[in-house]
């Protein structure tokens, strides 16, 4: 492993990590399975491609049952992945049992035959796997309530609190130790595996992984770009299947750079729809689009708390219909959905297939079967977006195939104001990442000082008090250097 890292880091200085690091484990399996036979009998290649598609997938945080259900339906509905090995890992025994019941029920419903196993030790869950899907939520609903209630007591409003701002900062700080555990274990027991991260805050998490664990293959996956295009196409009456698009920026604050339907620019249709509909104009992302010039790829609820102009103002909250504290209700609904799902499983009821499109199944399928597919993913910025800070997590179009992940070097394509907003976003990411890497608590406070929403809403002394209160409230979930 030391030799692999030495070679990789030499390349990493001049190219994106995921571009140069493929999947040696799968290459070995391919060679063993196909051998010389396929060179003399090409028709065997198709047969062996199907056989080679058997892979080992670990779910870390499998007890995030609603999300795990979506992934399982997608994965097990793909013919090439129906016999995959599914390793389910969680620290909550009841949720782990529920995840196992769900995996077996989904397999039964879609006619798949996976090998399902449950694990309470991370080493056994990850040993020799090809993919690790991370969906942990450290502290769960209780921690989410703290992320909202403590800042609210100091006069700070939040909507989602999982990406930037005070909520995002402290979500990252309690998640980084888990990422350390996952990455260290992967380096030891599955060094060629891919970590497919869904846990927020995405840019902070991928920035931290790149800084602390550069030899780990990691992609940050989020469906926000897909759903932005899908929803806006529905609004405009355009089929998604005939649409070509690319976005770039940072996760939850990327910009839809190109958007074409049957070769024609869709933006003029969006402009006409906005001009004709006052309700559309009363949304944060539309307000931003009309100023930045490209449409943001995350909801108005998310977008409002990454900027300095909205949540501090009662008038703007009313004008743009911003749902302050929205994620508290979402988090509570997730708890209720978990209970409903568990009761359905225990009663033997069939699960309703979700209306979801997630990237992890597409990544696994593309890498396993060598079927090229483009997604949008978060990776460390090394020459991908020169307008943004080097080494931090950015979201760009990424080609996935049998040799790995290939992020696209986009050049200086971001709208100038969009790039400026992204840099402001990444200033917070940079300070939080550095704080954790260096074990420097002062940098946590500095991250809060430069956060756009906190800086616009509170004075520096109040921010100091709020950070201290957050450290106290979250103390048992935070690393020792911060407590």
Catalytic residues: 223
Looking at residue 382, the DSSP 8-state letter turns out to be S
Report how far residue 302's alpha carbon sits from residue 228's, in angstroms, rounded to the nearest whole number. Answer: 13
3-state secondary structure of 160: coil
Taking alpha carbons only, the member of 254, 226, 230, 221 closest to residue 385 is 254
Give how far the C-alpha of residue 233 lies from the chain's centroid of Cα atoms, to the nearest Å. Answer: 23
Residue corresponding to tokens 């971001």: 414
Buried b vs exposed e over 401-435: b needs ≥16 C-beta within 10 Å?
bbbbbbbbebeebbbeebbebbbbbbbbbbbbbbb
The beta-carbon contacts of 152-157 under 8 Å, at least 24 apart in sequence, are 152/325, 153/469, 154/458, 154/462, 154/465, 154/466, 154/469, 155/457, 155/458, 155/462, 156/453, 156/454, 156/457, 156/458, 156/466, 157/305, 157/311, 157/312, 157/317, 157/324, 157/325, 157/453, 157/457
3-state secondary structure of 14: coil
Report how far residue 389's alpha carbon sits from residue 429's, in angstroms, rounded to the nearest whole number. Answer: 10
**Conformational region of residue 298, where left means phi above 0, alpha means psi within -120 to 50, and beta covers everything else:** beta
Looking at residue 201, the DSSP 8-state letter turns out to be S
Q: CA dist 340 to 67, 137, 355, Å?
A: 14, 19, 17
3-state secondary structure of 415: coil
Taking alpha carbons only, the member of 177, 176, 181, 157 closest to residue 167 is 157
Report how far residue 140's alpha carbon sits from residue 179's, in angstroms, rounded to the nearest whole number. Answer: 16
Taking alpha carbons only, the member of 441, 447, 415, 412 closest to residue 429 is 447
Residue 102 CB coordination number (10 Å): 24
3-state secondary structure of 252: coil
Residue 170 CB coordination number (10 Å): 29
User: Longest C-alpha distance within the chain, in Å?
Assistant: 74
């Amino acid at each position: 492993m030391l030799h692999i890292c030495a070679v990789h880091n030499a390349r990493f200085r001049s190219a994106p990590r995921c571009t140069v690091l493929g999947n040696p484990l799968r290459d070995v399996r391919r060679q063993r399975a196909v051998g010389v036979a396929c060179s003399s009998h090409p028709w065997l290649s198709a047969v062996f491609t199907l056989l080679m598609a058997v892979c080992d997938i670990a779910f870390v945080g499998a007890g995030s049952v609603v999300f795990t259900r979506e992934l399982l339906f997608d994965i097990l509905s793909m013919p090439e992945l129906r016999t995959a090995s599914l390793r389910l890992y969680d620290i909550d025994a009841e949720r782990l049992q529920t995840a196992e019941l769900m995996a077996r029920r989904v397999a039964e419903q879609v006619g798949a035959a996976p090998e399902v196993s449950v694990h309470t030790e991370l080493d056994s869950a990850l040993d020799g796997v090809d993919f690790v899907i991370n969906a942990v939520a450290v502290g769960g609903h209780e921690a989410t309530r703290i992320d909202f209630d403590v800042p609210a007591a100091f006069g700070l409003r939040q909507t989602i609190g999982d990406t930037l701002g005070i909520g995002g900062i402290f979500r990252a700080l309690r998640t980084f130790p888990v990422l350390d555990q996952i990455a260290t274990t992967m380096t030891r027991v599955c060094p060629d595996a891919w970590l497919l991260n869904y846990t927020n805050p995405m840019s902070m998490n991928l920035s931290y992984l790149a800084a602390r664990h550069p030899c780990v293959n990691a992609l940050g996956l989020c469906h926000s770009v897909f759903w932005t295009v899908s929803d806006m196409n529905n609004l405009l009456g355009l089929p998604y299947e005939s649409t070509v698009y690319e976005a770039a920026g940072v996760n939850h604050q990327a910009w839809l750079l190109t958007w074409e339907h049957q070769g024609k620019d869709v933006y003029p249709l969006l402009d006409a729809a906005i001009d004709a509909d006052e309700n559309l104009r009363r949304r944060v992302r539309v307000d931003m689009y009309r100023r930045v010039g490209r449409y943001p790829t995350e909801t108005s609820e998310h977008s409002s708390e990454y900027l300095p102009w909205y949540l501090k103002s009662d008038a703007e909250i009313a004008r743009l219909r911003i749902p302050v504290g929205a994620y508290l209700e979402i988090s509570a609904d997730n708890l209720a959905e978990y209970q409903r799902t568990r009761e359905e499983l225990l009663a033997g009821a069939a699960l309703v297939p979700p209306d979801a499109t997630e990237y992890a199944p597409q990544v696994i399928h593309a890498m396993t079967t060598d079927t090229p597919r483009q997604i949008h993913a978060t990776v460390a910025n090394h020459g991908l977006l020169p307008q943004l800070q080097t080494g931090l997590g950015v979201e760009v179009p990424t080609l996935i195939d049998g040799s790995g992940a290939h992020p696209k070097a986009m050049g200086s394509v971001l709208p100038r104001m969009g790039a400026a907003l992204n840099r402001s976003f990444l200033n917070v990411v940079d300070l939080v990442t550095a704080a954790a890497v260096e074990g420097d608590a002062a940098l946590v406070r500095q991250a809060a000082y430069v956060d756009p929403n906190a800086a616009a809403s509170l004075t520096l002394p109040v921010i100091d008090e709020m950070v201290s209160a957050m450290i106290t409230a979250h103390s048992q979930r935070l690393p020792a250097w911060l407590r």
